[in-house]
Protein backbone atom coordinates (compact mmCIF):
# COMPACT_ATOMS: atom_id res chain seq x y z
CA UNK A 1 0.00 0.00 0.00
CA UNK A 2 1.94 3.00 1.31
CA UNK A 3 5.67 3.25 0.86
CA UNK A 4 6.33 5.37 3.93
CA UNK A 5 8.87 2.82 5.06
CA UNK A 6 11.66 4.70 3.39
CA UNK A 7 10.75 8.21 4.46
CA UNK A 8 12.80 8.61 7.56
CA UNK A 9 16.30 7.58 6.65
CA UNK A 10 17.77 10.68 8.22
CA UNK A 11 18.18 12.30 4.82
CA UNK A 12 16.14 15.04 3.32
CA UNK A 13 15.39 13.28 0.05
CA UNK A 14 12.34 15.39 -0.84
CA UNK A 15 11.87 19.13 -1.11
CA UNK A 16 15.56 19.76 -0.58
CA UNK A 17 15.68 23.55 -0.60
CA UNK A 18 16.24 26.54 1.62
CA UNK A 19 12.60 26.47 2.79
CA UNK A 20 12.16 26.82 6.54
CA UNK A 21 10.06 24.46 8.70
CA UNK A 22 6.97 26.66 8.31
CA UNK A 23 6.83 26.06 4.58
CA UNK A 24 6.87 22.28 5.12
CA UNK A 25 4.24 22.53 7.83
CA UNK A 26 1.94 24.44 5.45
CA UNK A 27 2.46 21.83 2.77
CA UNK A 28 1.77 19.07 5.27
CA UNK A 29 -1.48 20.71 6.34
CA UNK A 30 -2.63 20.88 2.72
CA UNK A 31 -1.98 17.14 2.32
CA UNK A 32 -3.88 16.50 5.58
CA UNK A 33 -6.94 18.24 4.17
CA UNK A 34 -6.84 15.99 1.10
CA UNK A 35 -6.28 12.96 3.40
CA UNK A 36 -2.93 12.18 1.85
CA UNK A 37 -1.38 11.34 5.21
CA UNK A 38 1.71 9.82 3.69
CA UNK A 39 2.75 13.09 2.06
CA UNK A 40 1.70 14.97 5.18
CA UNK A 41 4.05 12.85 7.29
CA UNK A 42 6.86 13.37 4.77
CA UNK A 43 6.53 17.13 5.03
CA UNK A 44 6.25 17.15 8.82
CA UNK A 45 9.40 15.07 8.85
CA UNK A 46 11.15 17.67 6.70
CA UNK A 47 10.06 20.38 9.10
CA UNK A 48 11.42 18.45 12.09
CA UNK A 49 14.72 17.87 10.30
CA UNK A 50 15.15 21.63 10.22
CA UNK A 51 13.66 22.32 13.66
CA UNK A 52 13.58 19.17 15.86
CA UNK A 53 11.66 20.98 18.64
CA UNK A 54 8.97 22.56 16.49
CA UNK A 55 5.73 21.91 18.41
CA UNK A 56 3.42 22.37 15.41
CA UNK A 57 5.43 19.89 13.36
CA UNK A 58 5.42 17.35 16.21
CA UNK A 59 1.69 17.79 16.75
CA UNK A 60 1.02 17.42 13.02
CA UNK A 61 3.38 14.44 12.77
CA UNK A 62 1.53 12.69 15.58
CA UNK A 63 -1.86 13.45 14.08
CA UNK A 64 -1.07 12.47 10.47
CA UNK A 65 1.26 9.69 11.58
CA UNK A 66 -1.48 8.11 13.66
CA UNK A 67 -3.98 8.32 10.83
CA UNK A 68 -1.43 6.75 8.46
CA UNK A 69 -0.72 4.11 11.08
CA UNK A 70 -4.43 3.35 11.42
CA UNK A 71 -4.70 2.86 7.65
CA UNK A 72 -1.76 0.46 7.69
CA UNK A 73 -3.17 -1.46 10.65
CA UNK A 74 -6.53 -1.72 8.92
CA UNK A 75 -4.84 -3.12 5.81
CA UNK A 76 -2.86 -5.56 7.95
CA UNK A 77 -5.97 -6.81 9.75
CA UNK A 78 -7.75 -7.26 6.43
CA UNK A 79 -4.91 -9.42 5.11
CA UNK A 80 -4.73 -11.31 8.41
CA UNK A 81 -8.45 -12.13 8.37
CA UNK A 82 -8.28 -13.28 4.73
CA UNK A 83 -5.18 -15.40 5.59
CA UNK A 84 -3.04 -13.57 3.08
CA UNK A 85 -0.05 -14.05 5.35
CA UNK A 86 2.62 -12.91 2.91
CA UNK A 87 0.93 -9.56 2.36
CA UNK A 88 0.19 -9.22 6.07
CA UNK A 89 3.88 -9.69 6.89
CA UNK A 90 4.88 -7.01 4.39
CA UNK A 91 2.28 -4.64 5.86
CA UNK A 92 3.42 -5.31 9.42
CA UNK A 93 6.98 -4.47 8.42
CA UNK A 94 5.71 -1.14 7.03
CA UNK A 95 3.95 -0.52 10.37
CA UNK A 96 7.10 -1.36 12.30
CA UNK A 97 9.30 0.88 10.19
CA UNK A 98 6.84 3.77 10.41
CA UNK A 99 6.67 3.46 14.19
CA UNK A 100 10.46 3.33 14.63
CA UNK A 101 11.13 6.22 12.29
CA UNK A 102 8.48 8.44 13.85
CA UNK A 103 9.93 7.68 17.28
CA UNK A 104 13.23 9.12 16.03
CA UNK A 105 11.40 12.45 15.88
CA UNK A 106 10.29 11.86 19.49
CA UNK A 107 6.69 11.22 18.45
CA UNK A 108 4.80 8.16 19.73
CA UNK A 109 2.01 6.42 17.84
CA UNK A 110 -0.56 4.03 19.25
CA UNK A 111 -0.48 0.40 18.08
CA UNK A 112 -2.88 -2.38 19.23
CA UNK A 113 -1.32 -4.63 21.86
CA UNK A 114 -2.17 -7.83 19.95
CA UNK A 115 -0.59 -6.69 16.69
CA UNK A 116 2.74 -8.39 17.31
CA UNK A 117 1.04 -11.66 18.25
CA UNK A 118 -0.91 -11.57 15.00
CA UNK A 119 2.32 -10.89 13.12
CA UNK A 120 4.05 -13.89 14.73
CA UNK A 121 1.06 -16.05 13.84
CA UNK A 122 1.33 -14.88 10.22
CA UNK A 123 5.03 -15.73 10.16
CA UNK A 124 4.39 -19.18 11.63
CA UNK A 125 1.58 -19.92 9.20
CA UNK A 126 3.50 -18.72 6.16
CA UNK A 127 6.58 -20.73 7.19
CA UNK A 128 4.37 -23.77 7.58
CA UNK A 129 2.92 -23.23 4.08
CA UNK A 130 6.37 -22.81 2.57
CA UNK A 131 7.67 -25.84 4.45
CA UNK A 132 4.93 -28.14 3.15
CA UNK A 133 5.35 -26.72 -0.36
CA UNK A 134 9.08 -27.50 -0.13
CA UNK A 135 8.33 -31.06 1.00
CA UNK A 136 5.97 -31.55 -1.94
CA UNK A 137 8.67 -30.23 -4.27
CA UNK A 138 11.16 -32.70 -2.79
CA UNK A 139 8.69 -35.55 -3.31
CA UNK A 140 8.50 -34.45 -6.97
CA UNK A 141 12.31 -34.28 -7.16
CA UNK A 142 12.13 -30.56 -7.87
CA UNK A 143 15.00 -29.63 -5.57
CA UNK A 144 15.45 -26.20 -7.12
CA UNK A 145 11.88 -25.26 -6.18
CA UNK A 146 12.36 -26.74 -2.70
CA UNK A 147 15.45 -24.58 -2.27
CA UNK A 148 13.47 -21.50 -3.28
CA UNK A 149 10.95 -22.19 -0.50
CA UNK A 150 13.83 -22.78 1.92
CA UNK A 151 15.25 -19.35 1.09
CA UNK A 152 11.84 -17.74 1.67
CA UNK A 153 11.60 -19.31 5.11
CA UNK A 154 15.12 -18.19 5.98
CA UNK A 155 14.20 -14.65 4.99
CA UNK A 156 11.08 -14.33 7.15
CA UNK A 157 12.17 -16.50 10.10
CA UNK A 158 15.78 -17.78 10.29
CA UNK A 159 14.91 -19.56 13.56
CA UNK A 160 12.04 -21.65 12.13
CA UNK A 161 12.05 -25.02 13.88
CA UNK A 162 11.99 -27.15 10.71
CA UNK A 163 14.70 -25.30 8.81
CA UNK A 164 17.46 -27.77 9.69
CA UNK A 165 15.24 -30.70 8.73
CA UNK A 166 14.42 -29.07 5.40
CA UNK A 167 18.06 -28.29 4.59
CA UNK A 168 18.98 -31.88 5.36
CA UNK A 169 16.19 -33.24 3.18
CA UNK A 170 17.23 -31.09 0.21
CA UNK A 171 20.80 -32.36 0.59
CA UNK A 172 19.98 -36.03 1.25
CA UNK A 173 16.96 -36.70 -0.94
CA UNK A 174 18.65 -36.55 -4.38
CA UNK A 175 21.17 -39.13 -3.20
CA UNK A 176 18.44 -41.22 -1.59
CA UNK A 177 16.36 -41.28 -4.78
CA UNK A 178 19.40 -42.25 -6.86
CA UNK A 179 20.05 -45.03 -4.35
CA UNK A 180 16.46 -46.19 -4.61
CA UNK A 181 16.68 -46.19 -8.42
CA UNK A 182 19.86 -48.27 -8.25
CA UNK A 183 18.22 -50.67 -5.79
CA UNK A 184 15.21 -51.16 -8.08
CA UNK A 185 17.57 -51.83 -11.02
CA UNK A 186 19.27 -54.44 -8.80
CA UNK A 187 22.52 -52.47 -8.77
CA UNK A 188 22.91 -53.36 -5.12
CA UNK A 189 26.54 -52.32 -4.69
CA UNK A 190 25.86 -48.83 -6.04
CA UNK A 191 22.64 -48.62 -4.02
CA UNK A 192 24.47 -49.56 -0.82
CA UNK A 193 27.15 -46.90 -1.36
CA UNK A 194 24.52 -44.23 -2.03
CA UNK A 195 22.38 -45.22 0.97
CA UNK A 196 25.53 -45.05 3.08
CA UNK A 197 26.09 -41.47 1.88
CA UNK A 198 22.54 -40.60 2.93
CA UNK A 199 23.14 -42.22 6.30
CA UNK A 200 26.27 -40.10 6.76
CA UNK A 201 24.25 -36.93 6.12
CA UNK A 202 21.38 -37.81 8.44
CA UNK A 203 20.50 -40.92 10.38
CA UNK A 204 17.17 -42.60 9.69
CA UNK A 205 16.24 -40.66 6.56
CA UNK A 206 13.09 -42.25 5.13
CA UNK A 207 13.74 -46.03 5.10
CA UNK A 208 17.51 -45.83 4.62
CA UNK A 209 18.23 -47.88 7.77
CA UNK A 210 15.89 -50.66 6.68
CA UNK A 211 17.31 -50.84 3.15
CA UNK A 212 20.92 -50.81 4.36
CA UNK A 213 20.18 -53.68 6.70
CA UNK A 214 18.41 -55.61 3.97
CA UNK A 215 21.32 -55.12 1.56
CA UNK A 216 23.85 -56.25 4.15
CA UNK A 217 21.80 -59.32 5.00
CA UNK A 218 20.70 -60.44 1.55
CA UNK A 219 23.23 -59.18 -0.96
CA UNK A 220 26.67 -59.21 0.67
CA UNK A 221 29.12 -61.07 -1.57
CA UNK A 222 32.67 -62.35 -1.22
CA UNK A 223 34.79 -62.68 -4.35
CA UNK A 224 38.04 -64.23 -5.50
CA UNK A 225 39.76 -63.50 -8.79
CA UNK A 226 42.22 -66.02 -10.16
CA UNK A 227 45.36 -65.25 -12.19
CA UNK A 228 44.48 -64.18 -15.72
CA UNK A 229 45.38 -66.70 -18.42
CA UNK A 230 47.43 -65.02 -21.15
CA UNK A 231 47.08 -66.37 -24.68
CA UNK A 232 48.69 -63.31 -26.28
CA UNK A 233 52.33 -62.97 -27.30
CA UNK A 234 52.82 -60.09 -24.85
CA UNK A 235 54.89 -61.44 -21.97
CA UNK A 236 53.47 -60.87 -18.44
CA UNK A 237 50.36 -59.13 -19.83
CA UNK A 238 48.07 -61.43 -17.85
CA UNK A 239 49.91 -60.66 -14.61
CA UNK A 240 49.68 -56.93 -15.32
CA UNK A 241 45.91 -57.07 -15.94
CA UNK A 242 45.44 -59.30 -12.88
CA UNK A 243 47.21 -56.81 -10.61
CA UNK A 244 45.23 -53.88 -12.01
CA UNK A 245 41.89 -55.67 -11.53
CA UNK A 246 42.79 -56.57 -7.95
CA UNK A 247 43.86 -52.98 -7.24
CA UNK A 248 40.64 -51.51 -8.65
CA UNK A 249 38.47 -53.92 -6.63
CA UNK A 250 40.33 -53.16 -3.40
CA UNK A 251 40.17 -49.42 -4.08
CA UNK A 252 36.39 -49.55 -4.54
CA UNK A 253 35.78 -50.15 -0.81
CA UNK A 254 32.32 -51.52 -1.37
CA UNK A 255 30.96 -52.63 2.00
CA UNK A 256 28.74 -55.20 0.28
CA UNK A 257 31.71 -56.76 -1.47
CA UNK A 258 34.52 -58.53 0.33
CA UNK A 259 37.41 -59.32 -2.02
CA UNK A 260 40.03 -61.96 -1.35
CA UNK A 261 43.26 -60.15 -2.16
CA UNK A 262 45.67 -61.44 -4.77
CA UNK A 263 48.23 -62.74 -2.27
CA UNK A 264 45.59 -64.76 -0.40
CA UNK A 265 44.44 -66.38 -3.64
CA UNK A 266 48.01 -67.27 -4.69
CA UNK A 267 48.88 -68.59 -1.21
CA UNK A 268 45.81 -70.84 -1.20
CA UNK A 269 46.69 -72.16 -4.67
CA UNK A 270 50.19 -73.04 -3.48
CA UNK A 271 48.78 -74.67 -0.37
CA UNK A 272 46.60 -76.91 -2.56
CA UNK A 273 49.55 -77.60 -4.92
CA UNK A 274 47.92 -75.77 -7.82
CA UNK A 275 50.43 -74.03 -10.16
CA UNK A 276 50.03 -70.27 -10.06
CA UNK A 277 51.69 -69.69 -13.44
CA UNK A 278 49.56 -72.09 -15.47
CA UNK A 279 45.92 -71.95 -16.59
CA UNK A 280 43.73 -73.12 -13.71
CA UNK A 281 40.98 -75.65 -14.31
CA UNK A 282 37.38 -75.07 -13.28
CA UNK A 283 37.68 -77.91 -10.76
CA UNK A 284 40.81 -76.48 -9.11
CA UNK A 285 39.31 -72.99 -9.05
CA UNK A 286 36.25 -74.33 -7.21
CA UNK A 287 38.48 -76.03 -4.63
CA UNK A 288 40.40 -72.81 -3.99
CA UNK A 289 37.16 -70.80 -3.76
CA UNK A 290 35.74 -73.18 -1.16
CA UNK A 291 38.98 -73.03 0.81
CA UNK A 292 38.84 -69.23 0.75
CA UNK A 293 35.13 -69.40 1.73
CA UNK A 294 34.06 -66.94 -0.94
CA UNK A 295 30.63 -66.92 -2.59
CA UNK A 296 31.80 -65.89 -6.10
CA UNK A 297 34.97 -66.38 -8.13
CA UNK A 298 36.16 -65.37 -11.56
CA UNK A 299 38.30 -66.97 -14.25
CA UNK A 300 39.48 -64.87 -17.16
CA UNK A 301 41.58 -65.18 -20.29
CA UNK A 302 43.29 -62.62 -22.48
CA UNK A 303 42.45 -64.15 -25.85
CA UNK A 304 44.21 -61.90 -28.31
CA UNK A 305 46.19 -58.70 -28.74
CA UNK A 306 46.63 -57.14 -32.17
CA UNK A 307 48.51 -54.10 -33.44
CA UNK A 308 47.12 -53.13 -36.84
CA UNK A 309 48.87 -50.31 -38.68
CA UNK A 310 46.97 -48.56 -41.46
CA UNK A 311 49.08 -47.84 -44.58
CA UNK A 312 50.75 -44.46 -44.34
CA UNK A 313 49.09 -41.77 -46.46
CA UNK A 314 51.15 -39.03 -48.08
CA UNK A 315 50.03 -36.01 -50.06
CA UNK A 316 52.51 -33.64 -51.71
CA UNK A 317 51.80 -29.96 -51.08
CA UNK A 318 53.36 -26.66 -52.10
CA UNK A 319 54.88 -24.17 -49.67
CA UNK A 320 57.14 -21.13 -50.09
CA UNK A 321 60.70 -20.75 -48.83
CA UNK A 322 61.70 -17.19 -48.09
CA UNK A 323 65.32 -16.50 -49.12
CA UNK A 324 67.53 -13.43 -48.90
CA UNK A 325 69.07 -12.33 -52.23
CA UNK A 326 71.88 -9.81 -52.90
CA UNK A 327 72.07 -7.40 -55.84
CA UNK A 328 73.85 -4.21 -56.98
CA UNK A 329 71.90 -1.00 -57.09
CA UNK A 330 72.77 0.67 -60.41
CA UNK A 331 71.98 4.12 -59.13
CA UNK A 332 74.00 4.05 -55.93
CA UNK A 333 76.57 1.45 -56.94
CA UNK A 334 76.11 -0.35 -53.60
CA UNK A 335 75.20 -3.89 -52.78
CA UNK A 336 71.61 -4.29 -51.57
CA UNK A 337 69.58 -7.19 -50.21
CA UNK A 338 65.95 -8.25 -50.33
CA UNK A 339 63.74 -11.30 -49.86
CA UNK A 340 62.14 -13.52 -52.44
CA UNK A 341 59.95 -16.63 -52.21
CA UNK A 342 60.83 -19.90 -53.85
CA UNK A 343 58.26 -22.66 -54.36
CA UNK A 344 59.12 -25.94 -52.54
CA UNK A 345 57.42 -29.28 -51.93
CA UNK A 346 56.47 -30.85 -48.60
CA UNK A 347 54.30 -33.77 -47.52
CA UNK A 348 51.07 -33.97 -45.56
CA UNK A 349 51.23 -37.33 -43.75
CA UNK A 350 48.60 -39.43 -41.96
CA UNK A 351 49.68 -42.39 -39.83
CA UNK A 352 47.32 -44.64 -37.94
CA UNK A 353 47.59 -47.73 -35.78
CA UNK A 354 44.85 -49.70 -34.00
CA UNK A 355 45.40 -51.81 -30.88
CA UNK A 356 42.73 -54.36 -29.96
CA UNK A 357 42.68 -56.43 -26.77
CA UNK A 358 40.15 -59.25 -26.21
CA UNK A 359 39.28 -60.61 -22.77
CA UNK A 360 36.85 -63.40 -21.94
CA UNK A 361 35.77 -64.09 -18.36
CA UNK A 362 33.35 -66.22 -16.41
CA UNK A 363 31.84 -65.57 -13.00
CA UNK A 364 31.00 -68.63 -10.86
CA UNK A 365 28.80 -69.38 -7.87
CA UNK A 366 31.16 -71.00 -5.35
CA UNK A 367 28.36 -73.03 -3.76
CA UNK A 368 27.41 -74.85 -6.97
CA UNK A 369 30.34 -74.23 -9.29
CA UNK A 370 27.91 -72.95 -11.95
CA UNK A 371 28.59 -69.99 -14.22
CA UNK A 372 26.39 -67.05 -13.24
CA UNK A 373 27.71 -64.56 -15.81
CA UNK A 374 30.13 -64.52 -18.72
CA UNK A 375 31.17 -62.05 -21.34
CA UNK A 376 33.75 -61.17 -23.97
CA UNK A 377 35.17 -57.66 -23.77
CA UNK A 378 37.00 -56.21 -26.74
CA UNK A 379 38.67 -52.85 -26.45
CA UNK A 380 40.31 -50.97 -29.30
CA UNK A 381 42.42 -47.84 -29.30
CA UNK A 382 43.17 -45.97 -32.51
CA UNK A 383 46.07 -43.54 -32.65
CA UNK A 384 45.87 -41.31 -35.71
CA UNK A 385 48.59 -38.72 -36.21
CA UNK A 386 48.54 -36.04 -38.88
CA UNK A 387 51.72 -34.10 -39.48
CA UNK A 388 53.85 -32.47 -42.16
CA UNK A 389 57.31 -33.45 -43.41
CA UNK A 390 59.94 -31.19 -45.02
CA UNK A 391 63.62 -31.96 -45.66
CA UNK A 392 64.86 -28.58 -44.61
CA UNK A 393 64.56 -25.80 -42.05
CA UNK A 394 60.92 -24.81 -41.51
CA UNK A 395 61.70 -21.44 -39.86
CA UNK A 396 61.72 -19.77 -43.30
CA UNK A 397 58.83 -21.79 -44.70
CA UNK A 398 55.48 -20.09 -45.41
CA UNK A 399 52.12 -21.42 -46.64
CA UNK A 400 51.59 -18.32 -48.80
CA UNK A 401 53.47 -15.36 -50.24
CA UNK A 402 50.69 -13.09 -49.06
CA UNK A 403 49.90 -11.83 -45.58
CA UNK A 404 49.52 -14.33 -42.74
CA UNK A 405 49.24 -13.54 -39.03
CA UNK A 406 51.96 -14.73 -36.65
CA UNK A 407 49.44 -16.84 -34.79
CA UNK A 408 48.30 -18.64 -37.96
CA UNK A 409 51.90 -19.04 -39.08
CA UNK A 410 52.93 -20.66 -35.77
CA UNK A 411 49.93 -22.97 -35.98
CA UNK A 412 50.81 -24.01 -39.55
CA UNK A 413 54.48 -24.61 -38.74
CA UNK A 414 53.60 -26.62 -35.62
CA UNK A 415 52.40 -29.42 -37.90
CA UNK A 416 55.99 -30.11 -38.84
CA UNK A 417 56.59 -31.08 -35.20
CA UNK A 418 53.35 -33.06 -34.84
CA UNK A 419 55.05 -36.36 -35.64
CA UNK A 420 56.12 -36.33 -31.99
CA UNK A 421 52.46 -36.93 -31.09
CA UNK A 422 52.84 -40.58 -32.07
CA UNK A 423 52.15 -42.88 -29.14
CA UNK A 424 54.26 -45.93 -28.61
CA UNK A 425 52.71 -49.39 -28.81
CA UNK A 426 53.06 -49.68 -25.04
CA UNK A 427 51.24 -46.39 -24.44
CA UNK A 428 48.38 -47.52 -26.65
CA UNK A 429 48.27 -50.91 -24.92
CA UNK A 430 48.15 -49.24 -21.48
CA UNK A 431 45.18 -47.13 -22.59
CA UNK A 432 43.48 -50.25 -23.94
CA UNK A 433 44.04 -52.13 -20.66
CA UNK A 434 42.66 -49.28 -18.55
CA UNK A 435 39.52 -49.06 -20.68
CA UNK A 436 39.07 -52.83 -20.58
CA UNK A 437 39.38 -52.93 -16.79
CA UNK A 438 36.98 -50.00 -16.43
CA UNK A 439 34.29 -51.79 -18.49
CA UNK A 440 34.96 -55.03 -16.63
CA UNK A 441 34.49 -53.24 -13.30
CA UNK A 442 31.15 -51.80 -14.43
CA UNK A 443 29.95 -55.23 -15.50
CA UNK A 444 31.21 -56.95 -12.36
CA UNK A 445 29.49 -54.46 -10.04
CA UNK A 446 26.20 -55.51 -11.63
CA UNK A 447 26.91 -59.22 -12.25
CA UNK A 448 28.32 -60.06 -8.82
CA UNK A 449 25.03 -59.22 -7.09
CA UNK A 450 22.74 -60.94 -9.58
Distance CA 173, CA 197 (A): 11
Domains and CATH numbers, the chain: 4-112 (no CATH), 127-219 (1.25.40), 221-450 (3.40.50.10610)
Quick one: average pLDDT of 65-93? 93
Over residues 398-445, the pLDDT tens digits come to: 999 989 999 999 999 999 999 888 899 999 999 999 999 999 998 988
Which of these, 233, 238, 182, lies nearest to 212 by C-alpha position? Answer: 182
Distance CA 207, CA 100 (A): 50
Over residues 281-293, the pLDDT tens digits come to: 999 999 999 999 9
**Residue 127 · residue 160 · CB < 8 Å:** yes
Mean pLDDT of the chain: 90
**Residue 225 · residue 297 · CB < 8 Å:** yes
pLDDT of residue 445: 80
Q: How far is CA 259 from CA 51, 250, 254, 297, 377, in A?
A: 86, 7, 9, 10, 22
pLDDT of residue 252: 77
Task: Indicate the pLDDT class of residue 330, thresholds 50, 70 and 90.
Answer: confident
More confident: 305 or 338 = 305
pLDDT of residue 220: 84
Which of these, 262, 259, 272, 255, lies nearest to 241 by C-alpha position? Answer: 262
Over residues 10-25, the pLDDT tens digits come to: 444 444 444 688 899 9
Quick one: average pLDDT of 329-350? 84
Quick one: average pLDDT of 347-357? 95
Over residues 232-277, the pLDDT tens digits come to: 999 999 999 999 999 998 887 777 888 999 999 999 999 999 999 8
Please tell me the pTM assigned to this model.
0.58
Quick one: average pLDDT of 169-181? 95
pLDDT of residue 16: 45
Quick one: average pLDDT of 174-189? 90
Which of these, 352, 245, 350, 368, lies nearest to 299 by C-alpha position? Answer: 245
Over residues 108-124, the pLDDT tens digits come to: 999 999 999 999 999 99
3-state helix, strand, coil in the chain (%, to 5): 55, 20, 25
Q: Which residues contact 425 (CB under 8 A, 6 or more apart)?
A: 307, 353, 355
pLDDT of residue 19: 62
Which of these, 132, 396, 362, 352, lies nearest to 228 by C-alpha position? Answer: 362
**Residue 224 · residue 211 · CB < 8 Å:** no
Quick one: average pLDDT of 326-335? 75
Distance CA 432, CA 355 (A): 7
pLDDT of residue 193: 86
Amino acid sequence: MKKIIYLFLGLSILFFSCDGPKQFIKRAQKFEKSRDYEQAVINYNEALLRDPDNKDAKKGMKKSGQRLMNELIEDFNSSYISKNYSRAIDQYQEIDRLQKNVERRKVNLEVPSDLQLKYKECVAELCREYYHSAIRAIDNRDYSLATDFLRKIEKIDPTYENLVRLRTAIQADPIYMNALDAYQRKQFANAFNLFSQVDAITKGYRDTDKLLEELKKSYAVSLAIFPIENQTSQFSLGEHVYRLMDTELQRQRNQLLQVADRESVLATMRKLNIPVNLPISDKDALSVAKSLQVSRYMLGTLISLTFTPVPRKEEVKVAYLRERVLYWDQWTGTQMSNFQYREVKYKEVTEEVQVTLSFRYRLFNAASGEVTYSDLIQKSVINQVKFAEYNGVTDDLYPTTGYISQNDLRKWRSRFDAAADRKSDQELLDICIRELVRQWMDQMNAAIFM
